[in-house]
Amino acid sequence: MNIRFLLLLLFFTIGAWAQDEEILVSGSLIEAETGQPIPYATVVLKDVSSKATIMGAITNDQGRFQLNSSTKDFYVEISFMGFETIQLRDFKVKGNKVTLGIIKLFQDSQMLDEVVVRGEVSKTEFKLDKRVFNVGKDLSSTGASALEVLNNVPSVNVNIEGDISLRGSDGVQILINGKPSVLADESSNALGTITADMIESIEVITNPSAKYEASGTSGILNIILKKEEKRGWNGSVSINTGVPDNHSIGGSLNRRTEKFNLFTQFGAGYRSLPRDNEAINRNLINNEVIFSEGESFRNETFFNITLGTDYHLNQYNVFTLSGNFAYEIEDQPSETNFRFFDTNNTLVSRWLRDETTDATNPKWQYEFNWKKQFKNNEDHTFQLSALGSFFGKDQSSLFTDTTLEGENVDNNQQTATNFQQADYTFKADYTNPLTKEYTLETGVQYVMNDVGNDFEVRDLIAGEFVINENLTNDFEWNQKVLGIYATGAYENDTWGIKVGVRVENTDLQTLLANTNEGNSQNFTNLFPSLHTSYTFSEKFSLQAGYSKRIFRPRLWDLNPFFNIRNNFNIRAGNPELQPEFTNSYELTSIYKIGKASMSSSLYHRYTTDVVERVSTFVDNVNFSTPENIGTNSSIGFEANGKYSPAKWLTFTWDFNFNYFDRKGTFEDQVFDFTGNQWSTRLGSKIGLPADIDLEFNGNYRSGFETVQGEQSGFAFLDIGMRKKILKGKIVANLGIRDVFASRIQERFVNQPTFEIYDFGLRGRFLTFSLSYAFGKGEAMTYSGRRR
The string of DSSP codes covering 590-605 is EEEETTEEEEEEEEEE
Closest CA to 184 of 218, 147, 210: 147
581, β-bridge pairs? 550, 608
pLDDT at 15: 43
Task: Tell me which of 162-166, 192-196, 448-452, 544-548 is least confident.
Answer: 192-196
pLDDT at 354: 95
390 pLDDT above the threshold of 60: yes
370 pLDDT above the threshold of 90: yes
485 pLDDT above the threshold of 90: yes
CB atoms within 10 A of CB 438: 12
227 pLDDT above the threshold of 80: no
Residue 190 per-residue DSSP state = G
Residue 514 per-residue DSSP state = T
Closest CA to 598 of 567, 629, 643, 630: 643
360 pLDDT above the threshold of 90: yes
In whole angstroms, what is the distance from residue 92 CA to residue 260 CA? 39
pLDDT at 654: 84
pLDDT at 237: 86
CB neighbour burial string for 620-632, b if at least 16 within 10 angstroms, e if fewer = eebebbbbbbbeb
Q: What share of the chain is helix, strand, coil (3-state, %, to 5)?
A: 5, 65, 30
pLDDT at 251: 84
pLDDT at 6: 43
pLDDT at 470: 81
9 pLDDT above the threshold of 50: no
CA-to-CA separations, 701 to 281, 508, 677, 734, in angstroms, rounded = 26, 35, 8, 25
396 pLDDT above the threshold of 90: yes
4 pLDDT above the threshold of 60: no
655-711 confidence digits (pLDDT tens): 989 999 999 988 888 889 999 999 888 988 898 998 898 989 898 989 999 999 999
pLDDT at 715: 94
Burial of 376 (0-12, 13-18, 19+ CB in 10 A): exposed
Question: Please, which pLDDT band fits residue 21 given cuts at 50, 70 and 90?
Answer: low
Parallel/antiparallel/unpaired status of strands 495-512 and 473-491: antiparallel
Question: Please, which pLDDT band fits residue 557 given cuts at 50, 70 and 90?
Answer: confident
* Number of helices and strands in the chain (H, E): 5, 47
pLDDT at 558: 86
pLDDT at 218: 64
312-338 confidence digits (pLDDT tens): 888 889 898 989 899 999 999 999 999
In whole angstroms, what is the distance from residue 771 CA to residue 248 CA? 12
In whole angstroms, what is the distance from residue 635 CA to residue 619 CA? 40
Task: Tell me which of 29-38, 308-317, 368-377, 773-782 is least confident.
Answer: 773-782
pLDDT at 71: 81
Using a pLDDT cut of 70, give the percent of the chain over it. 86
581-590 confidence digits (pLDDT tens): 999 899 988 8
| 8 A C-beta contact, residue 209 and residue 487 | yes
pLDDT at 488: 96
Mean pLDDT of 357-370: 93
pLDDT at 786: 42
Query: Residues 618, 624, 628, 634: is their CA dihedral positive or negative?
Result: positive
414 pLDDT above the threshold of 90: yes
| 8 A C-beta contact, residue 345 and residue 385 | no
Of residues 187 and 709, more confidence is placed in: 709
Of residues 3 and 237, more confidence is placed in: 237
Taken in order of first residue, the domains within the chain and their CATH numbers are: 18-107 (2.60.40.10), 110-233 (2.170.130.10), 234-775 (2.40.170.20)
Question: Please, which pLDDT band fits residue 452 given cuts at 50, 70 and 90?
Answer: very high
Question: Please, which pLDDT band fits residue 540 given cuts at 50, 70 and 90?
Answer: confident
pLDDT at 113: 38
162 pLDDT above the threshold of 70: no
Task: Tell me which of 92-96, 268-272, 293-297, 452-456 is least confident.
Answer: 92-96
12 pLDDT above the threshold of 80: no
pLDDT at 96: 85
56 pLDDT above the threshold of 90: no
Whole-number mean pLDDT of the chain? Answer: 84
Q: What is the pTM of this model?
A: 0.76
pLDDT at 756: 97
Task: Tell me which of 178-187, 269-278, 308-317, 612-621 is least confident.
Answer: 178-187
Closest CA to 271 of 250, 296, 302: 302
Question: Please, which pLDDT band fits residue 775 given cuts at 50, 70 and 90?
Answer: low
